[in-house]
Amino acid sequence: MQEQHLEITISGRYLVESPAGEGPFPVFAGFHGYGQTAEDEMAILKQISGSERWICCSVEALHPFRNAKGELGACWMTRRDRELRIAENVRYVDVVLDRIINGYPVNGTIVLHGFSQGTGMACRSALLGKHDVAGVMLLGGDIPPEHQALDRMRKVHIARGNRDSLYPLQSFDDDSTRLRDSGLPVEILPFQGVHGPNDDYLASAGRFLQAIG
C-alpha cells in the first residue's frame, strides 16, 4: 500500500474590519484557538485598546469541524502530515495578507496575534511567511519548538493566565527564556486569569500595540 498526497484548491475564510478614513493604516492579523472561529479571534482583537486604528483581520483555520457540543469550529493542524499542513497554512496566510495589502490602504506595518493553538500559527507566519512583521503577540499558547532563530518575530508580547491549565507554567517559562536568549525585545506578562484574555491582558496588549503603531 502506498500513501500519496494530492494538492487541490479549497476555500479559506477570514474577516476584515477597517477604520474609517483614507488611511494608510497598519494591519493587525489574528489566529484563533482550537475549535474556535474567526469571529472569536476578531472579538479579542477588537477588545485590545487602540486596535480601532488598525485594519483588523481574523483568519479562520482551514479544517472545520463540530465539537462535542455541536458547535462549529476549526483547527489549524494535527500531528498527521504535520510538515505539509504547516506549509499549506503559511501559504494561506501569505495570500490573505497579500489581499489585504492590495485591497486596503496600508502603511506596511503588520502585527500578528495568536491565541491558544493560534500562537503557533502567528509564530510560523512571522518566521516562515513572506511578509515581514513588526511584532508578534502570543496569548495562552507556546512557540513551536522546532524554530531556533526567532529574529523575524522582531518584537514579542507573550502572556499567560496563572490558572491556565492548557498552557503549563513550565512551557510559558521555557518560551520566555527562549525569547530573552534570542535577544529580541520581549514583554512577558503573567496575569491573574485563566485560558483567555482579561482586562489586565487587554491593557498590556494595547500598550504593546500602541508602541509599534
pLDDT tens track for 19-46: 999 989 999 999 999 999 999 999 999 9
Q: Mean pLDDT across the chain, nearest whole number?
A: 95
202: which 3 cell numbers? 487587554
Between β-strands 72-75 and 63-66, what pairing exists: parallel, antiparallel or unpaired? Answer: antiparallel
pLDDT tens track for 118-159: 999 999 999 999 999 999 999 999 999 998 899 999 999 999
What is the reported pTM? 0.95
DSSP 108: E
pLDDT at 68: 77
- Does residue 116 register a pLDDT over 90? yes
- CA distances (Å), origin 34, targets 65, 75, 114, 135, 161: 10, 5, 11, 22, 17
Q: CB-based contacts of 174: which residues, under 8 Å, 6+ apart?
A: 142
pLDDT at 148: 85
Question: Which domains, ranges and CATH numbers included, belong to the chain?
Answer: 14-212 (3.40.50.1820)
pLDDT tens track for 81-101: 888 899 999 999 999 999 999
Q: CB-based contacts of 193: which residues, under 8 Å, 6+ apart?
A: 161, 162, 163, 164, 200, 201
pLDDT at 10: 85
Q: What are the backbone dihedrals phi and psi of residue 202, each rounded to the nearest 5 degrees, phi first?
A: -60, -35
- Does residue 78 register a pLDDT over 80? no
pLDDT at 8: 80
